[in-house]
């Protein structure tokens, strides 16, 4: 299965604008974890290390493996805050987060390590050593496509919780965001972000 096919499967683009149920297969990612303000330096260093390695792997894969692909969008999973409540999109702060970038199945973990070693020898960006290759499994989820600023996600998140309840499910996962827009290039009102939560069937 190609990277584009896996990404389309995960997004289930038909009906993504409104709430929908999707079955997400296990997907392989470059991942890095962190804590604290997502507008802070720690988050920026983690993002830079993750995407820096992702692009170096892409370039090396084309040159050495003959594999050509587009680096997929950045993704993030946000954990609960210190008081046990959910991620606050307005404050853009969380107790924990995981940044992810989907990795083609054709690229061995050993190949990623070789690229990492070369990158470390050249520039060695902060947190490069913390990036890992790992499969992320979600299964059945509810999701929708949010249009607009990140700080205005709350209403769409509430729609997802309501949709889950209406269809007989409970939210079980943390907030998973897939960034289809670049905040450094697009106006905030034009940003596109997939919002996703893992669910399980309600008892009874």
Reading the block at residue 134, the tokens are 């790992």
pLDDT at 84: 44
pLDDT at 83: 44
The pLDDT tens digits for 64-89 are 999 999 999 999 999 865 444 566 66
User: Can you tell me the distance from the alpha carbon of 39 to that of 5, in angstroms, rounded to the nearest whole number?
Assistant: 32
pLDDT at 23: 96
Is there a contact between 204 and 147 (Cβ–Cβ < 8 Å)?
no
Packing angle, helices 109-122 and 41-60, rounded to 10: 120
State the DSSP string of 6-47.
HHHHHHT-TT-SS-EEEEEPPEEEEEEEE-S-TTSHHHHHHH
State the pTM of this model. 0.88
According to DSSP, residue 91 is labeled: T
Q: Where are the domains of the chain?
A: 3-201
Q: Phi and psi for 167 in degrees, rounded to 5?
A: -100, 10
pLDDT at 151: 87
172: Cβ contacts below 8 Å, ≥ 6 apart: 197, 198, 199, 200
With CA atoms as reference, report the closest residue to 189 among 157, 161, 148. 148
pLDDT at 183: 81
Name the stretches of the chain with pLDDT < 50: 1, 14-15, 82-84
HSE (CB half, 13 Å, CA atoms) of 22? 29
Q: Which fold has domain 3-201?
A: Multidrug-efflux Transporter 1 Regulator Bmrr; Chain A (3.20.80)
pLDDT at 182: 85
Reading the block at residue 150, the tokens are 């990140």
């Amino acid at each position: 299965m190609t990277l584009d096919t896996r990404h389309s499967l995960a997004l289930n683009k038909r009906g993504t604008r409104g709430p929908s149920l999707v079955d997400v297969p296990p997907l392989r990612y470059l991942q890095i974890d962190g804590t604290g303000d997502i507008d802070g330096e720690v988050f920026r260093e983690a993002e830079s290390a993750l995407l820096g390695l992702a692009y170096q792997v892409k370039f090396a894969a084309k040159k050495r493996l003959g594999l050509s692909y587009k680096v997929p969008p950045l993704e993030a999973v946000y954990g609960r805050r210190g008081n046990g409540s959910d991620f606050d999109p307005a404050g853009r702060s969380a107790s924990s987060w995981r940044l992810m970038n989907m990795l083609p199945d054709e690229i061995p973990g050993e190949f990623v390590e070789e690229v990492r070693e070369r990158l470390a020898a050249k520039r060695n960006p902060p947190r490069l050593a913390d990036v890992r290759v790992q499969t992320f499994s979600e299964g059945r989820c509810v999701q929708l496509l949010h249009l607009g600023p990140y700080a205005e996600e709350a209403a769409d998140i509430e729609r997802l919780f309501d949709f889950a309840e209406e269809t007989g499910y409970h939210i079980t996962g943390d907030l998973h965001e897939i960034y289809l827009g670049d905040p450094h290039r697009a106006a905030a009102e034009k940003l596109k972000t997939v919002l996703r939560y893992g669910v399980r069937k309600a008892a009874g």
